[in-house]
Structure 1
Amino acid sequence: MADMSAPAGGLLTTSDGRPLKSALATAQKRAKRRAFLLVLPLLAFIVITFIVPIGQLMHQAIYNDGFSANMPRMTAWFAETPPGTEPDDAAWEALALDLKDAAAARSVGVVGTRVNYEMSGTRSLFTSTARGAARFEPPYRDALLAADEKWADPNLWGTMRQVSDAYSANFFLAAIDMTRDVNGKIVPMPEERQIYVSLFVKTFLLAGLITFTCFLLGFPIAHLLATLPMKWSNLLMILVLLPFWTSLLVRTTSWMVLLQQQGVVNNTMVALGIISEDGRIQMIYNQMGTIIAMTHILLPFMILPLYSVMRPIPPSYVRAARSLGATSWTAFRRVYLPQTLPGVGAGSLLVFILAVGYYITPALVGGASGQLISNLIAFHMQSSLNWSLASALAALLLGAVLVLYWIYDRLVGIDNLKLG
């Protein structure tokens, strides 16, 4: 320990004459720098693999330069004229010349796809017109209308004006079943195209039902694990953890074998006389299949937090309550259950968040009615290639999960969450 002395002025100093307060502050700064350097690799890993991809996701949801980067003359004309302006000779010339350049650069498909995101059926208009764009001569309006009369549609020009800006909130509007009209006013999508809001609602309802089912099944299992002698508890814990050692794909396809109409479950019920041969139950490729398979897969995520909270609870608490006159139900409700709430909250939050974002299991066993929002996000990423809309849907899903996390923190307190 450094030698300290108190000079006549009463100020404590170290053995080398420095003020003690300054020396302690320097030591604290050195300790903080050392701690920061120790966690720097982990921080860099989180930033690179988590923060940066989320930032790119948010940017992709509002940015798409498919039109503006390949139609510069049209983009400039839209920027110079107010909304609702009728296309003049300069606009038709800009459109014809941009189509020529896009056809030469083989980027007209990108342009048509960007416009098609907002107005269905327009991609073929751009590609078919661009094939003959090299032969266009003034007057360009007549040349374009001779190629296809759809170029005179004011809705098309309004849509091109909207997509001429690389940054747009239109994908977020589409993700909540809204769009913009020709004048730029936000209006609801046609009823036959309103699919995303209802799918979000169904996703959260199914995730809540799966979470509740996991709680009903997991609570007694966790209680049994916590009260059995250690040798039996360890054996049962191995059975709980066994699904983690099996591939998710294998577990899902196993449920496909079990639940199909000619599968093990239906055959067993027919053999026992519970149902007739003609009354086999459809338990696969629907919501029932999604709920059953996901409950089985996510059940350990409910059991483990509950077990970690139940194990330290002394059994003497419930015995003391019963000895003081409480019934078994009252002792459970007033003494035991409140002590398990941190585990209940942690397990429910964990299962719900995992269920909201699940993809493989609903895709394999859910069919058309058992699909979740994650399956539609994957569709736009892999099939329709509308990455901006997929990013907007994913951003809304992320925001909903963060709101759920905030509500849990306000109601229960994140400090009370116990995962182990």
Structure 2
Amino acid sequence: MAETTMDPTAAGLKTADGRPLKAALAAAQSRAKRRAFLLVLPLLLFIVITFALPIGQMLQRSFYHDGFSKASPALGAWFAANPAGKEPDEAAYAALASDLLFMKENRLAGEAGTRINYSVPGTRSLITSAARGADDLQPPYREALLEQDRKWGEPLLWVAMREAASPWTTDFYLSGIDMQRSADGGIERVAEVNRVYIWLYVRTFLLSAVITGICLLLAFPIAHMLATLPMAKANLLMILVLLPFWTSLLVRTTSWIVLLQGQGVINSLLVTMGVIDDSGRLALIYNQTGTIIVMVHILLPFMVLPLYSVMRVIPPSYARAARSLGATSWTTFRRIYLPQTLPGIGAGVLLVFILAVGYYITPALVGGADGQLFSNQIQFHMTKSNWSQAAALAAMLLAGVLLLYWLYDRLIGIDKLKLG
């Protein structure tokens, strides 16, 4: 390339082979970008295949369930031709009889019944038993089906079948906010005794906030001590902070069960010391208290590390200068030291809170009925094969976390996070 002292991007300059210099630089930059993209392409494909696609499939599952729609083509056509709210006539029952026979021939009655059972409990057996006897149904089909079971005339059942006739549905999100479809096709709250999800959703975020606050109060002095001690002692204490990571989560949780149970180590020690009597042993496990204690222990290192990464680079001379100018220790901490630790506080709080919201193993083992979190309901529905309900609840949890993440970005700024 020709040597020149002029601006290399100036028009009119050429390379040794006669090409315009500006075009040659643009081509070189383009090649560099392509090489960089090819280098990160394997990692990008890995993230898409193992992270993005599963999340996308799960989110789709929360809106999509074809268990009933693929088994009821005739009934789906009747619903499409008749407006919502119309009372089912003989043609509707004839379509239902045709679909019951179709379910029997293709062994779809169980799946179709399960889908309706999500909206109207107790209807799976109704559909499967009717499908078994579909060969014996004769017109008039309305009288034949009602004679078989009077539930076939219930408006709520027909509302549920109309909604399930399309594979795309919002029923699982309605259930996730303790709502349901009424007999007239509207939306209403479920009975008070069945209102589970909203309170559990709020309790999950409240408990996560409490756990995060306790972790911050405990981690701040630990991180400060690590940042101010000589390096040799700080490294030794850092090993103690990281030591829990070398032990299985299940082992740590089980150890806390041994410590906290009614006849466990802590209660027995308090009885021996005379702090409590044998009949007044503390309930420290299988409740919210147990969930908070164990999760604070598990998540504490995730708060210590971001705080330490920020505190270790704060020059001690700032505090000395403030004191030399007459500031008290509290003023120095409040106006000089604390503001410089805010990026670490933000990173630790965000990290611990998001982890706490999504935990389900620890609450399942030590939480009992009172210490369960929203994620435990997701795990319950996953194991009970109602993946669509689990996907809807997971989407709600994801939406809540993303909202808090957005608020943090608006108030503080993600660019100020200091994770190491």
TM range (shorter): over 0.9
Question: How far apart in 2 are the matches of 1:75 and 1:289?
Answer: 50
- Aligned mates of 1:301, 1:2 — CA distance in 2: 55
| Residue matched to 1:305 | 306
Counterpart for residue 183 of structure 1: 184
Q: Distance in 2 between matches of 1:375 and 1:393?
A: 10
Paired residue for 2:243? 242
**Whole-angstrom distance in 2 between the partners of 1:88 and 1:315:** 83
Q: How far apart are 1:92 and its partner, in Å?
A: 1.3
SS in 1 for 2:201: helix
Tell me the equivalent position of 2:27: 26
- Residue 124 of structure 1 and its aligned partner are, at CA, apart by 1.6
Task: Provide Cα deviations, 1:35-65, integer angstroms capped at 9, x if missing partner.
Answer: 1101101111111111111111111010011
The CA deviation string for residues 363-397 of structure 1, in whole angstroms up to 9 with x for no partner, is 000000000000000101102x2111110110011
What letter matches 2:60 in structure 1? H
Asked if residue 252 in structure 1 is aligned to residue 228 in structure 2, the reply is no
- What is the distance in 2 between the residues matched to 1:274 and 1:167? 60
Cα distance in 2 for partners of 1:164, 1:338 equals: 58
Task: Please name the residue that 2:270 is paired with.
Answer: 269
Offset at residue 194 of structure 1 (A): 1.3
Is residue 395 of structure 2 the alignment partner of residue 401 of structure 1? no
Note the alpha carbon deviations across 1:77-125, whole angstroms, 9 max, x for none: 1111111222222211111121122123222111111111111121121
What are the within-5 Å matches in structure 2 for residues 35-54 of structure 1?
35-54=36-55
Change (3 A) 1:134 1:340: same
Q: Normalization by structure 2: what TM-score?
A: 0.97
Tell me if 1:389 matches 2:378: no
Q: In 2, distance between residues paired with 1:327 and 1:5?
A: 58
Contact 1:5 1:13 survives alignment (8 Å): no
Gap regions ≥5 residues in structure 1: none
Given that 2:155 and 2:184 are in contact with CA atoms closer than 8 Å, whether structure 1 keeps it comes out as no
Residues of 2 paired with 1:223 and 1:169: CA distance?
49
Match of 1:229 in 2: 230
> Within the alignment, does 1:55 sit opposite 2:34 as a pair?
no
Matches of 1:87 and 1:287, distance apart in 2: 49
Please, what is the CA RMSD of the aligned residues? 1.5
Residue matched to 1:193 = 194
Q: Is 2:11–2:22's contact at 8 Å kept on the other side of the alignment? A: no
Alignment CA distance shift 1:44-1:271 (3 Å): same
User: What is the CA-CA distance between 1:5 and the residue it aligns to?
Assistant: 10
Number of aligned residue pairs: 417
Measured after TM superposition, the shift of residue 327 of structure 1 is 0.9
* Distance in 2, Cα, partners of 1:337 & 1:2: 55
Q: Cα–Cα, structure 1 residues 254 and 146, in superposed 2: closer, same or farther, change >3 Å?
A: same
Shift in Å at residue 271 of structure 1?
0.9
Contact kept? 2:116, 2:164, Cα under 8 Å: yes
Task: Name the CA distance, whole Å, in 2 between partners of 1:261 and 1:125.
Answer: 46
Q: CA deviation at 1:28?
A: 0.8
1:284 is aligned to 285
Residue type at the aligned position of 1:55: G
CA distance in 2, matches of 1:54, 1:10: 50
Residue 71 of structure 2 aligns to a residue whose secondary structure is coil
Partner residue, 2:413: 413
Superposed CA offset, 1:387-411 (max 9, x none): 1111011001111111111111111
Listed as ranges, the matches of 1:361-400 within 5 Å are: 361-383=362-384, 385-400=385-400
CA contact (8 A) 2:2 2:14 kept: no
For 1:5 and 1:211, locate their aligned partners in 2 and report how far apart those are by CA, in whole Å: 59
Report if the CA contact (8 A) 1:58-1:395 is conserved.
yes
- TM-aligned CA deviation for residue 229 of structure 1: 0.7
Deviations 1:246-266 (A, max 9, x none): 000000000000000100000
What amino acid sits opposite 1:311 in the alignment? R
Give the superposition deviation at 1:208. 0.2
| CA offsets 1:256-315 (integer angstroms, 9 cap, x no match) | 000001000001111111111111001000000000000000000000000010111111
Alpha-carbon distance between aligned partners in 1 of 2:404 and 2:214, rounded to the nearest angstrom: 19
CA distance in 1, matches of 2:16, 2:381: 69
Determine the structure 2 residue equivalent to 1:357: 358
- 8 Å contact from structure 2 (residues 85, 185) kept in 1: no
- AA paired with 1:126? I
In structure 1, give the amino acid aligned to 2:350.
Answer: L
State whether residues 71 and 99 of structure 2, in contact with CA within 8 Å, keep that contact through their aligned partners in structure 1: yes
Aligned-pair CA distance for 1:338:
0.7
Separation of aligned partners in 2, 1:236 and 1:199: 38
C-alpha contact 1:3 1:14 (8 A) present in aligned 2: no
The verdict on how the C-alpha distance between 1:2 and 1:294 changes in structure 2, with shifts beyond 3 A counting, is: farther
Gaps of 5+ in 2: none
Check the 8 A contact 1:119/1:159 in 2, yes or no: yes
Alignment check: 8 A CA contact 1:4 1:13 kept: no
Q: Partner of 1:249: helix, strand, or coil?
A: helix
Deviation of the 1:166 alpha carbon: 0.8
SS of the equivalent of 1:179 reads strand
SS at match of 1:69: helix
Amino acid at match of 2:411: L
Q: CA 1:189 to 1:10, structure 2 compared with 1: closer, same or farther past 3 Å? A: closer
Please give the TM-score of this superposition, normalised by the length of structure 1. 0.97
Question: Is 124-133 or 65-74 further displaced after alignment?
Answer: 124-133
Please give the alpha-carbon distance, in whole angstroms, between the structure 2 residues aligned to 1:132 and 1:147: 9
- State the secondary structure of the residue aligned to 2:29: helix
| SS of structure 1 residue aligned to 2:310 | helix
Aligned equivalents of 1:10, 1:179: Cα separation in 2: 69
Q: What residue is the counterpart of 2:325 in the other structure?
A: 324
Q: Is the deviation greater in 72-81 or in 247-256?
A: 72-81
State the one-letter code of the partner of 2:312.
Answer: R
CA distance in 2, matches of 1:357, 1:39: 29
